[in-house]
Amino acid sequence: MLDKDLTIIYRNWPETQGNILPQKVPRQKHCYAAYPPGQELPCNECHVLEVFSTNSPVVREKRTTKEGCLEILAYPLVDDAGKVSMVLENIRNIEKCKKVEKSLKEVDQMLNAAIQASPLPIIVLDNDEKVMIWNPAAERIFEWEAEDVVGQRYPLLPDEHKEEFSAFSRGLKEDIALNGVELMRRKIDGTIIPIRCYIPPLCLTRKKCNCNDGYP
């Protein structure tokens, strides 16, 4: 907790946690002097001063040479007159999450490059049977442009094969894959063509990243 002079009024960081602050930071000390590496003047774009000036919470990320990326949440504490008298500051280390995000982004870029370069059509549907991915090979074979089908219902089904497709969809939701099944699909001009289809059940899950390596 800090006042308008950026003085530390109260803190609850344990003395044994020294990855963000030194092991002992006395109260009644300016935050810019307490935080490593320590300095004589407030930081540029100080989030605490921004809270005092805007009367609104501020969320900011800062990178330090020692700890990496920190997420800082600063909240205004108002007095009986409704004026901001203190700022409550919450700091946590999110360096691990940033590294995970970077790795996932790199994997996503590689997968996207492989999908775009594939000579075979690759189509991904969501649980509502709407198109999520439609690669250039699918454009070439079926003659629908990606921009016309992404976000729309799967357009390749001849009317007489809709029940068949619904059965396949139910099977995929039960983790039953299709390997080399011969199907009939419709091009944009209405022409029906035979295809050999390989459909693995694609489960999209999101694992929670525990970033709470700093101070709650």
Same fold, 1-117 and 118-199: yes
Q: Topology of 1-117 in CATH?
A: Beta-Lactamase (3.30.450)
Q: What's the pLDDT score for residue 43? A: 83
Burial class (CB within 10 angstroms; exposed 0-12, middle 13-18, buried 19+) of 173: exposed
| SS3 readout for 16-44 | CCCCCCCCCCCCCCEHHHHCCCCCCCCCC
CA dist., res. 185 & res. 174, Å (int) = 23
Rounded Cα–Cα distance for residues 143 and 67 (Å): 52
pLDDT, tens digit only, all 216 positions of the chain: 899 999 888 877 654 444 445 445 555 588 877 766 667 888 888 999 999 999 999 999 988 777 788 899 999 999 998 899 999 998 888 999 999 999 999 999 999 999 999 999 999 988 888 999 999 999 999 999 999 999 999 999 998 888 888 877 777 667 777 788 898 999 999 999 999 988 876 654 444 444 444 333
Mind listing the pLDDT tens digit for each residue in 62-80? 887 777 888 999 999 999 9
Q: What is the pLDDT of residue 16?
A: 41
What pLDDT was estimated at residue 211?
Answer: 42
What's the pLDDT score for residue 39? 77
Query: Over the stretch 176-212, which tens digit does the pLDDT of each residue have?
Result: 777 888 989 999 999 999 999 888 766 544 444 444 4
Question: What does the pLDDT read at residue 213?
Answer: 41
Judge contact between 87 and 52, C-beta under 8 A. Answer: yes
| Gap between the Cα atoms of 124 and 132, Å rounded | 5
Whole-number pLDDT of residue 134: 96
**How many H helices and E strands in the chain?**
6, 7
Structural domain boundaries in the chain: 1-117, 118-199
pLDDT at res. 203: 53
Name the CATH superfamily housing domain 118-199.
PAS domain (3.30.450.20)
Q: Cβ distance 61 to 44 under 8 Å? A: no
- Residue matched to tokens 């063509």: 193
Backbone angles phi, psi at 94, to 5 degrees: -115, 25
Report pLDDT for 188: 95
Instruction: Identify the CA nearest to 48 among candidates 26, 73, 69, 71.
Output: 73
* Model pLDDT, residue 209: 42
| pLDDT at position 216 | 34
pLDDT for residue 210: 44
The Cα 79–Cα 62 span in angstroms is 29
